[in-house]
Structure 1
Amino acid sequence: MNYLILVNRQHPCPADLPLDLIPVHPGYPNILLEREAVRALARLMEKLDGWRSIVPVSGWRSMEEQEKLYQNALAESGPKFAEQYVALPGHSEHQTGLAIDLGLRQPEIDLIRPAFPYEGICQKFRKLAPLYGFVERYPAKKEAVTGIAHEPWHFRYVGRSHAQRMTNLGLTLEEYLT
């Protein structure tokens, strides 16, 4: 699989993308990612003992699930919010099986914008993520480049060498691929 696949408003997710999806963790059988991304996430979470404090909120999404999420965000929060935080169906990284939304374990978790602060275990995850192939996909001050609002909870698997290079250079996937 091409871990550097770019999916955004201008680049739709290919319909024939080969997916090898498995659950991210036995405790979350309905949250799926591509097999290699799951392996990397498991190693990272083991290093941090992260499963006690960090929960997977969303992984792979079908076209139908993305459509429902988008329509719900549109109806409940309006077009501006939906455009900033929810990708159009067919244009979501979640449809690749390489993107995961993570949240700090709390009694109530916002499924669109889960809490993932720049401190504590979340910041430790963020710092180690590139060593395991993950990047914070929608960083602050890069909205004009990505077309998506800052999402500190959204991580994308791109592979170790690419993740380290992107992080060291401060590049988004769009910038890295151009």
Structure 2
Amino acid sequence: MGQTNSSIHIEQRQNVKHAAVQASRSEIYEGPLVLVNRSNPIQQPLSPDKLQPLSIYPLLNELQDGMLLEKSCLQQLVALLEACEGIDDIVAVSGYRSKDEQEQIYASSLLENGPEYTACYVAKPGQSEHQTGLAIDVGKRDSFVDFIAPSFPDNGVYQNFKQLAAQYGFIQRYKQGKESITNISCEPWHFRYVGFPHAEIMEEMDFCLEEYIDWIRRYSYSGERFTYENDTLQVSIYYVPAEAAPSTTVPIVNCDLYRISGNNSDGFIISAYTGKGHQVCE
């Protein structure tokens, strides 16, 4: 795996060591790798302080005023749109939704499109990634944009967006051939922020998020860890199961920077970043 365009940068190295940190049980339900689907509904609402309005980037095109996204997701979306030169041609169709908004969208789709179509393209309230603030529907900027299934072609800047997405931490969440796992039809317009380097790993291994969350459980602090590497970074990735107690002791390997994400199910995924000759910083 090669170079990437992530939000992680390099500065002069300092040897930072971490023995362990305490993660509360509620943190299982937070982070860029939370798995939200029919079997893993949202357990706690997103804190408003983790959201930002798209309007802070005036060049972004919004289908509706007042759209919100999780802060890191929004930052990387803007970087991706700039990299693919799609800032003028791509419109943000739908970002963060509250449970009430998802209920309205689901009910409206049932009336307008029927139960079969709705089951394929609209998640039930409490089971929608949009409630995490980490999902963004994008579409071709046009005089009419379908809110539920926006057009997002396989050419031009739209294709560039898809090809560069993983480098900026995004995956196409619902791909053709994965319907039996995700229980959602192929959605070329729906992208999910999972962060670096997880998006690139998933793309290379052709994993949907369900498959990745299952696969990463084989890696542990005391056993084998998965290692991602490029020209400037090495990343150790492993899983720590949540304890029955109110908090879990999460061991951290020696590194320059680490991130912990819950999986919305039974534990935590740790990403430990080490720069090659330099310190990693955000």
TM-score in same-fold range (> 0.5): yes
In structure 1, runs of 5+ residues without a counterpart are none
Aligned to 1:162: 198
Deviation at 1:17, TM superposition (A): 3.7
Shifted more, 168-177 versus 43-52: the winner is 43-52
When residues 77 and 35 of structure 1 are mapped into structure 2, their CA distance, relative to the original with a 3 A threshold, is same
For residues 141 and 120 of structure 1, what CA distance do their matches in structure 2 show?
Answer: 24
Q: Answer 1 or 2: higher relative contact order, Cα 8 Å, separation at least 6.
A: 2
Post-superposition CA distance 1:76-135 (Å, at most 9, x none): 111101111000001000000000000011110000000011111111000000000000
Shift of 1:4: 0.4
Q: What does residue 93 of structure 1 align with?
A: 129
Distance 1:62 1:17 in 2: 9
CA shift for structure 1 position 14: 2.1
Cα distance change on mapping 1:125 and 1:172 into 2, 3 Å: same
TM-score by length of 2: 0.61
Q: Give the aligned partner of residue 110 of structure 2.
A: 74
Q: Considering fraction of residues, name the structure with more helix.
A: 1
User: Whose Rg is larger?
Assistant: 2
Tell me the CA shift for residue 31 of structure 1.
Answer: 1.5
Q: Which amino acid aligns with 2:186?
A: H
**1:21 paired residue number:** 51
- Ranges of 4+ aligned residues in structure 1 off by more than 4 Å: none
Counterpart secondary structure, 2:101: helix
- Larger strand fraction of residues: 2
1:6 corresponds to: 35
The residue type equivalent to 1:123 in the other structure is Q
Q: How many aligned positions are there?
A: 178
Farther-moved stretch of structure 1 (117-126 vs 157-166): 117-126
CA distance in 1, matches of 2:207, 2:108: 31
- Deviation at 1:141? 1.2
Mapped partners of 1:4, 1:18: distance in 2: 16
TM-score of the pair, normalised by structure 1: 0.96
The equivalences for 1:47-66 within 5 A come to: 47-66=83-102
- 1:117-175 alpha-carbon deviations (Å, 9 max, x no partner): 11111110000000000000001111001000100000000002000000011110000
Query: Structure 1 CA distance, aligned partners of 2:88 and 2:162?
Result: 16
Question: Partner residue of 2:231?
Answer: none
Q: CA RMSD in A?
A: 1.2
2:139 is paired with a residue whose SS is strand
Secondary structure, counterpart of 1:50 in structure 2: coil
Q: Which residue of 2 aligns with 1:109?
A: 145
